[in-house]
Structure 1
Amino acid sequence: MNFDDLNILDEIKNAIRDMGFSKLTPIQKLAIKPALKGFDLTAQAQTGSGKTLAFAIPVLQKVFIPDRSPQAIILCPTRELCMQVAGEITKVGKNIKKLKVLAVYGGQPIGKQTRVLKKGVHIVVGTPGRVIDHIERGNLDLIGVESVVLDEADEMLDMGFRQDIERILTDVPRQRQTMLFSATMPTEIRKIAKAYQKNPKFIKVSNDRKNIPKITQHAFKTNRKHKFDDFMKLIDAYGIKSALVFCNTKKGVDFVFKSLKKNGYSAEAIHGDMSQKHRDIVMNKFRNSNVRFLVATDVAARGLDISNLEFIVNYDVSTNYDDYVHRIGRTARAGKSGYALTLVSKEDLINFNNIKKSSDGQIIEKNIPDDEELENIKNKRVLDEVKKSIKIDNLQEYLDIIKKNSSEDISTEELAAALLKKVREN
């Protein structure tokens, strides 16, 4: 099914076309049509599945522009996700004249958000805490809200937002459409659906969490003593230029971050003890490729969307499969491919075996390369680039130089070997 097949505004269709999308993803196929008809939805969809468009299109379709009061509210667990979702909705609605979308979250001066709200906003995207703050200050009136979306609902519950979510759902008019999107469906999510939705359509993409075909997943047995050294070997073996590295604890984040710096790598760290301002600065550095490695805990990395991120490294094994999927879903976005590398020590075996069992054979166990294997891998990488250059580049000028400098004493093979040595040493 294509977006052109949907019964939606031409302004939305044209914007989606400009964004480079034509065919619907599985979650979009299942969710958009019932949502356009006004049904409540409870949808299981992992990060990166295209769910933002699945709710953005129905929300935008029924916005009445002359009414400058909030008509839709979208709740997200983190500042990062709020900004991402608001940005996506703005892109989809760019051709709808005078549409106003606002992201509200902590860490930004509330006065600026207040001024925009007072001028009039059609769609509010916010973290539960900051939304309630605006409600209590009289800045945000929910009386005209017709659509409510809970995005990454399981993460919001994990972060302790249940009371805030229920408070907001209670304040919104009962005659509304409620759409709930979650990567997992624990009992708490089902309770919220039962209490606050009307005959919802339940949607789950078949094997959605297990089929991650564009992410190459490798796991390596190691031990605590040599874990960081083995991590260094993987950086060399895979030629990792940039990676998001996950640790289970703040202490672990600090250790890996400091160890990377000691070994001459540009690195930054984020975890829950850091201020939002500091985390924003670090994230901008990583997004702009001013730093190679970002070391993070699960909580700090929630809602992150980093384009063109090829490698995820699980320095510590996730405690469960759902967290593992959240982590590795940060790569292979928008149809691209990526790698997820996991270091497994003796202490991690129980968790790892459970994750591997749930992965449906997607995780391949490999050995950490020894020094000789590492040298062979590095040589092969250079030679592969050389072979690629032979096929696509004009090398005549360089061929002439090689011919001039080869002789009975120095063969072309020796010149090539010496050049390889120089490349490797540099």
Structure 2
Amino acid sequence: MSFYKLGVKGDLVYALSTQNIIDPTPIQVLSIPLILKGHDLIAEAQTGTGKTLAFLIPIFQQINLEDDHIQALVVAPTRELAIQIRSVADQLSEIIPVSALAAYGGQDVLAQIHKLQGRIQLVIGTPGRVQDHLRRGSIDFSKLKTVIVDEADQLFHIGFKKDLAEIFSYVPDIHQTLCFSATIGDTVDQFSKDYLKSPKTVVAPKAKVTLDAIEQFILETSGRRKLDDFVALLKQTYPQKAIIFCRSRRGTHALYEALKEKGYSIEPLHGDLTQAKREVVMTAFRNDEIQYLVATDVAARGLDVDGVSHVFNYNLPDDAENYVHRIGRTGRAGNMGVAYTILTEKDAKRMEAVEAFIQMKINRFSFQRK
């Protein structure tokens, strides 16, 4: 299957080829023809399956370059994801001159307003900042044709249901709505009933959980010994570059403070940080200026960073599928990776759920007590 056969025009196929994107992924094969035909769409696709291009390719094809109004809106749950979608859009814009704006909190709102007064055809934003612009009257959706809700399950998990309802109140009656989600649960289902018209539903084949390139271990410990054992593990394994996952913002910051005090090259990534700080942290981590990133799931969702040798689950996530998403940050691009879970009795049930989900038992060990 080629992009041509999906109905993608030559200039866009060329734009993709300049980035060595030749063959469409399953979610692109399923979604692009339906979007180009004007259908509302519910698409279930995991992160990393090419879903961003699955909606950006038809959007770029449908935008009228002669019309300076906003014609498409992408709503994303986090600033990082909005930035990532914008970077993919920018690559396409080098060939197809669509003018895009990323609108998210932590940036200068007046600078965004100034840009919105010019030629903007595509807005990629987080719910709060899009809402802010709508209330200020700095965004004009009168010519909006398409709304894309990305990572819908995450949007509702964070609690953006009311924000989305307000945003949709500004959208013209005749428009196309595309809803992309890793899972289609009750909240996504209800959203589609409220806002989508006779939608088509596509489900990308779930990539077999490829954990072959990742060695997994469980370090069994107690709540009292947890930090000491974790530090001992870091000294033993000495990761080249690692992400450490915690379940809460407070826990993330507490672990960051504890490890920073012990002299580790580490920075936190969580929702309480300003956007400027989050961008500085991610740039430093990508450029190997810091060795460890300690993060919450929401902050790290959808982030691809080269060269991560180790992933540590200091706390397990509530959702077993998120475990796979977390450890998938390592063992990429043909490299081997290592994932450790620091397990106390409190997380025993979560670990059982993870092992059931990945259908394997993970090797366990503990440190000898003196």
TM-score (norm 1): 0.79
Gaps of 5+ in 2: none
Distance 2:141 2:272 in 1: 33
How do residues 26-65 of structure 1 correspond to structure 2 at under 5 angstroms?
A: 26-65=26-65
Give the conservation status (yes or no) of the 8 Å contact 1:234–1:368: no
Give the conservation status (yes or no) of the 8 Å contact 1:261–1:267: yes
Q: Does 1:91 align with 2:91?
A: yes
Which residue does 1:412 correspond to in 2?
none
Change (3 A) 1:338 1:47: farther
- Greater percentage in helix: 1
Which residue does 1:346 correspond to in 2?
345
Structure number, greater radius of gyration: 1
Which residue does 1:72 correspond to in 2?
72
Number of residue pairs matched? 368
Change (3 A) 1:174 1:303: same
Which residue does 1:151 correspond to in 2?
150
Which residue does 1:25 correspond to in 2?
25
Deviation at 1:21, TM superposition (A): 1.6
Q: Which amino acid aligns with 1:220?
A: I
- Aligned with 2:183: secondary structure? coil
Q: Which amino acid aligns with 1:278?
A: K
How do residues 205-220 of structure 1 correspond to structure 2 at under 5 angstroms?
A: 205-208=204-207, 211-213=209-211, 216=214, 218-220=216-218
Distance 2:194 2:286 in 1: 40
Give the conservation status (yes or no) of the 8 Å contact 2:131–2:163: yes
Deviations 1:93-141 (A, max 9, x none): 32114x2011011100111111111112111100111111111211111
Change (3 A) 1:119 1:334: farther
Which residue does 2:363 correspond to in 1?
365
Distance 1:269 1:114 in 2: 30
Which residue does 1:245 correspond to in 2?
244
TM-score (norm 2): 0.91
How do residues 282-321 of structure 1 correspond to structure 2 at under 5 angstroms?
A: 282-321=281-320
Give the conservation status (yes or no) of the 8 Å contact 2:73–2:124: yes
How do residues 24-423 of structure 1 correspond to structure 2 at under 5 angstroms?
A: 24-97=24-97, 99-208=98-207, 211-213=209-211, 216=214, 218-224=216-222, 225-232=224-231, 234-235=233-234, 238-331=237-330, 338-361=337-360, 364-367=362-365
Identity in percent: 37
Give the conservation status (yes or no) of the 8 Å contact 2:242–2:311: yes
Distance 2:44 2:337 in 1: 23
Deviation at 1:77, TM superposition (A): 0.8
Distance 1:283 1:318 in 2: 22
Deviations 1:161-214 (A, max 9, x none): 111112222321222221111112220110011111112121222334x62346
Q: Which amino acid aligns with 2:80?
A: E
Q: Which amino acid aligns with 2:146?
A: S
Moved more, 6-15 or 303-312: 303-312
Distance 2:219 2:329 in 1: 23
Distance 1:360 1:70 in 2: 47
Distance 1:333 1:261 in 2: 28
Q: Which amino acid aligns with 2:269?
A: I
Which residue does 1:379 correspond to in 2?
none
Deviation at 1:265, TM superposition (A): 2.3
Give the conservation status (yes or no) of the 8 Å contact 2:45–2:206: no
Change (3 A) 1:60 1:331: farther
